[in-house]
A and B are shown apart, each in its own frame.
Chain A
Amino acid sequence: MASNVLRGHAHTYGKNVDTDVIIPGKYCNIVDPAELGKHALEGIDADYTARMKPGDIIVADSNLGCGSSREVAPIAIKGSGTAAVIASSFARIFYRNALNIGLPIFESPEAVAGIAAGDEIEVEPATGIVRNLTKGTQYQAAAFPPFMQALIDTGGLLPYVERRLAERAAAN
């Protein structure tokens, strides 16, 4: 099995988990990921950071991350030690932000429907395969669009920006 397989227990939420409940506005002047992580999901689940164990997985219904463009939302989730987020669908800006900061996210309404709070979940980031070890079921998350997969494969947005800068320098 690949070494980067993620495994943890599921914490489940409904639809439209917005960025205000992921990291309330009053914490948005914080930039340190660990400090932000202490308040992850505080607006919807005040005990989340006390209850969760590093490596746990957030599972939510549709439109996760709607609302504010605050990048500290995925940073707070990652900073809390949460390994991944599985949702039926994601809001647009959150989706981009999560990939940019390296928070593993997976889109699969079937997986969300088949996971209950506390289930032990395993995710293979390379293939998008989600396994519910508690129930013995398996799901395939949606593939990333090819452009985004290429971004992910080459290390994310920053190496991409560095390549664009180098191309321009070479062209001049």
Chain B
Amino acid sequence: MGMTLTEKILARHAGLDRVEPGQIINANVDLVLANELSAAVAIGVMKQIKGADRVFDKSKIALVEDHFVPAKDPQSAKIAKLMKDFAVEQEIEHFFDVGRGGIEHVVLPEEGLVAPGELIVGGDSHTCTYGALGAFATGMGSTDIAAAFVLGEVWIKVPSSIKIVYDGPLGDMVFAKDVMLKTVGTLGIDGATYRAIEYHGSTVDALSITGRITMANMAIEAGAKNGIFHADAKAIAFVKERTDRPFVVESADPDAVYERIVRIDVGSLEPQVACPHTPDNVHGISDVTRDDIWLDQVFIGSCTNGYIEDLREVAKILDGKKIASRLRVIVNPGSQKVWMQAATEGILTTLAQAGCVVNTPGCGACFGGHMGTLGEGERCLSTTNRNYVGRMGSPTAEVYLASPATCAASALTGKITDPRVVALAHA
């Protein structure tokens, strides 16, 4: 009996010939990630562990200041400093301060810190993003991260895998984000709990690395432990441009056993929107736009859609136009490198001229931290990944999730708008 892609990677990191779903293993990790929120707690926990003065390997830990940066208040400054001091004391090689990094999940692939076949754990639920490059990656809490800092290994219950096969070309103004929203809507927010999602099919083979990142990022929105793609030539080229570290490309056996196989026909898919207040409350844009859903804010950015491809799509739609009156549009390039690339291409100017504000890279607005928090009764259309009650601020605010193109089209009209209609108007 063969193994899935996830099982292959876990077996190798546990030094075993094979593993089976449900088995508890001790696995070596290739990288441990934390941000200032998860690190603040993890550092405190590590201090309580007797005999644990140093991290297991200073080259295999990444610390990224991204949630409340630039510091929103003294308490945020305090935890940012706590992590920075720890990075200095432990001589952590991959420490990214404000202005040198950005959102952790944008930064790590960009910096060549993620490679196929690797095992990565992070103190952030969207650590599953790195499955885009064929790595096993999963989010954990701070105590588990502290243990990983010290041991360089974690205990993992081997998940069973759900194989999802996507076929068909993407329609006009339909993107990886729409495909993933459809996936979360199909599985439900606990439809993949304790499971691995393995992405297959002609649609994802044709996707860019950024598109795969968007999809792997939201595996957790179906409750999954990880979401993973096979590393093809495109993924290997992406990684080799960024690191010369050796890596082992794994693939699922032809006779691998899946808990179930889900088929999603993408050919007929229209742009998708997740309506309040769960990411699986997903509807086609035609249904959603049947009523006028007026907006107070549009947010473009995050570890889901804060990449240069996303900003290019938005700039294409907003170029030479003005956003709707009474609407604010906040754009948040995902990293310093994305920000600089957008500046070089003139995208930041296009967006500013349209009436958008461009923020510094970070997670702030997405999780209701700062720099774009919603007030009572406000409504936001966002390229982010969660729309729970109070996610972006007030518990009475409403968050809708969509692709950057749908967000940009809606920015022009002030209400949720089908990007295909705007594209037609341009033609």
A residues whose Cβ falls under 8 Å from a Cβ of B: 16, 18, 20-21, 24-26, 28-31, 43-44, 46, 62-63, 66-72, 75, 89, 91-93, 96-97, 100-101, 145, 147, 157-158, 160-162, 164-166, 169
Does B50 lie at the interface of the complex (its beta carbon under 8 Å from any beta carbon of A)? yes
Query: Beyond A24-B390, A71-B142, is A63–B190 a contact (Cβ under 8 Å)?
Result: yes
Q: A157 touches which one: B123, B143, B389 (CB < 8 A)?
A: B143
- How near does chain B come to A112, taking the closest CB pair, in angstroms? 15
Q: Is the CB of A68 within 8 A of B125?
A: yes
Does B160 lie at the interface of the complex (its beta carbon under 8 Å from any beta carbon of A)? no
A-chain residues with CB within 8 Å of residue B193 when the two chains form the complex = 63, 66, 89, 91-92
Does B48 lie at the interface of the complex (its beta carbon under 8 Å from any beta carbon of A)? yes
- In the assembly, what is the distance between CA of A101 and CA of B44, in Å? 12
- In the assembly, what is the distance between CA of A142 and CA of B41, in Å? 29
What 9 new A-B contacts, CB under 8 Å, besides A29-B78, A97-B144? Answer: A21-B395, A24-B368, A25-B391, A43-B395, A66-B190, A67-B386, A70-B38, A72-B37, A93-B140
A-B pairs with beta carbons under 8 Å apart, 17 shown: A20-B368, A28-B37, A29-B36, A29-B76, A63-B189, A63-B193, A63-B223, A67-B388, A70-B38, A72-B37, A91-B223, A92-B194, A93-B141, A96-B141, A97-B143, A160-B147, A166-B51
Q: A93 touches which one: B24, B139, B388 (CB < 8 A)?
A: B139
A-chain residues with CB within 8 Å of residue B225 when the two chains form the complex = 92
- In the assembly, what is the distance between CA of A21 and CA of B153, in Å? 31
- In the assembly, what is the distance between CA of A69 and CA of B51, in Å? 27
B-chain residues with CB within 8 Å of residue A26 when the two chains form the complex = 368-370, 373, 393
Give a binary string over B29-43; 1 marks a CB under 8 Å from any A CB, 0 the rest. 000000011101100
Query: Beyond A20-B386, A62-B190, A93-B140, is A68–B51 a contact (Cβ under 8 Å)?
Result: no
Give a binary string over B303-318; 1 marks a CB under 8 Å from any A CB, 0 the rest. 0000000000000000
Q: Is the CB of B50 within 8 A of A162?
A: yes
Does B262 lie at the interface of the complex (its beta carbon under 8 Å from any beta carbon of A)? no
- How near does chain A come to B158, taking the closest CB pair, in angstroms? 12
- In the assembly, what is the distance between CA of A77 and CA of B118, in Å? 35
Q: Is the CB of B123 within 8 A of A69?
A: yes
Identity of the chain B residue whose Cβ is nearest the Cβ of A73 in the assembled complex: B141
Identity of the chain A residue whose Cβ is nearest the Cβ of B221 in the assembled complex: A67
